[in-house]
Amino acid sequence: NGETYRRRGWCRLEQWAHMAVAGLDNMHIYERGELHPFKERPSWYHDSIHVFAGDFTVESDKKMLVDTVLGLWALALAGKDADPLI
Protein backbone atom coordinates (compact mmCIF):
# COMPACT_ATOMS: atom_id res chain seq x y z
CA ASN A 1 0.00 0.00 0.00
CA GLY A 2 1.54 3.29 -1.12
CA GLU A 3 0.14 5.37 1.70
CA THR A 4 1.53 3.18 4.47
CA TYR A 5 4.88 2.98 2.65
CA ARG A 6 4.90 6.76 2.45
CA ARG A 7 4.35 7.10 6.21
CA ARG A 8 6.96 4.59 7.41
CA GLY A 9 10.13 6.20 8.76
CA TRP A 10 12.51 3.56 7.42
CA CYS A 11 10.90 3.81 3.96
CA ARG A 12 11.27 7.58 4.04
CA LEU A 13 14.95 7.20 4.85
CA GLU A 14 15.40 4.78 1.95
CA GLN A 15 13.74 7.21 -0.46
CA TRP A 16 15.73 10.18 0.75
CA ALA A 17 18.99 8.23 0.49
CA HIS A 18 18.24 7.43 -3.14
CA MET A 19 17.31 11.05 -3.87
CA ALA A 20 20.51 12.34 -2.24
CA VAL A 21 22.77 9.96 -4.13
CA ALA A 22 21.07 9.48 -7.51
CA GLY A 23 18.44 12.22 -7.76
CA LEU A 24 14.79 11.90 -8.68
CA ASP A 25 15.06 10.91 -12.34
CA ASN A 26 15.08 7.14 -11.81
CA MET A 27 12.50 7.04 -9.03
CA HIS A 28 8.94 5.93 -9.67
CA ILE A 29 5.78 5.19 -7.73
CA TYR A 30 3.75 2.13 -8.68
CA GLU A 31 0.09 2.96 -8.33
CA ARG A 32 -3.01 1.40 -9.85
CA GLY A 33 -0.95 -0.80 -12.15
CA GLU A 34 1.19 2.01 -13.55
CA LEU A 35 4.54 3.65 -12.85
CA HIS A 36 4.49 7.37 -12.13
CA PRO A 37 7.62 9.56 -11.98
CA PHE A 38 8.46 10.38 -8.38
CA LYS A 39 9.35 13.97 -9.27
CA GLU A 40 5.73 14.56 -10.34
CA ARG A 41 4.64 13.92 -6.74
CA PRO A 42 6.19 16.72 -4.67
CA SER A 43 4.27 15.69 -1.57
CA TRP A 44 6.00 12.27 -1.70
CA TYR A 45 9.53 13.60 -1.81
CA HIS A 46 8.67 16.32 0.69
CA ASP A 47 7.50 13.63 3.13
CA SER A 48 10.59 11.52 2.40
CA ILE A 49 12.98 14.07 3.82
CA HIS A 50 10.92 14.31 7.00
CA VAL A 51 12.21 10.97 8.23
CA PHE A 52 11.65 11.62 11.93
CA ALA A 53 8.00 12.54 11.35
CA GLY A 54 7.43 9.07 9.88
CA ASP A 55 5.94 6.09 11.66
CA PHE A 56 8.38 3.86 13.53
CA THR A 57 7.39 0.61 15.23
CA VAL A 58 10.29 1.17 17.63
CA GLU A 59 10.56 4.88 18.47
CA SER A 60 14.12 4.49 19.72
CA ASP A 61 15.18 3.60 16.15
CA LYS A 62 15.12 7.32 15.44
CA LYS A 63 18.23 7.78 17.61
CA MET A 64 20.13 5.34 15.39
CA LEU A 65 19.33 7.44 12.31
CA VAL A 66 20.71 10.79 13.43
CA ASP A 67 24.18 10.34 11.87
CA THR A 68 22.71 8.96 8.65
CA VAL A 69 20.23 11.82 8.32
CA LEU A 70 22.99 14.37 8.95
CA GLY A 71 25.02 12.74 6.18
CA LEU A 72 22.06 12.84 3.80
CA TRP A 73 21.50 16.48 4.67
CA ALA A 74 25.14 17.22 3.81
CA LEU A 75 24.77 15.38 0.47
CA ALA A 76 21.58 17.30 -0.30
CA LEU A 77 23.28 20.62 0.42
CA ALA A 78 26.31 19.70 -1.67
CA GLY A 79 24.12 18.74 -4.64
CA LYS A 80 21.39 21.37 -4.33
CA ASP A 81 22.55 23.24 -7.44
CA ALA A 82 22.44 20.05 -9.53
CA ASP A 83 18.79 19.32 -8.75
CA PRO A 84 16.79 22.11 -7.09
CA LEU A 85 13.96 19.70 -6.23
CA ILE A 86 16.12 17.87 -3.71
- Which residue would you say has higher pLDDT here, 78 or 16? 16
Sequence-distant contacts of 44-51: CB under 8 A, at least 24 apart: 44/6, 44/15, 45/15, 45/19, 45/85, 45/86, 47/6, 47/7, 47/12, 48/12, 48/15, 48/16, 48/19, 49/12, 49/16, 49/19, 49/76, 50/12, 51/9, 51/12, 51/13, 51/16
Can you tell me the distance from the alpha carbon of 33 to that of 57, in angstroms, rounded to the nearest whole number? 29
What's the predicted TM-score (pTM) here? 0.82
Question: What are the pLDDT digits (tens) for 32-72?
Answer: 899 999 888 888 888 988 999 999 999 999 999 999 999 98
Q: How confident is the model at residue 73 (pLDDT cuts 50, 70, 90)?
A: confident
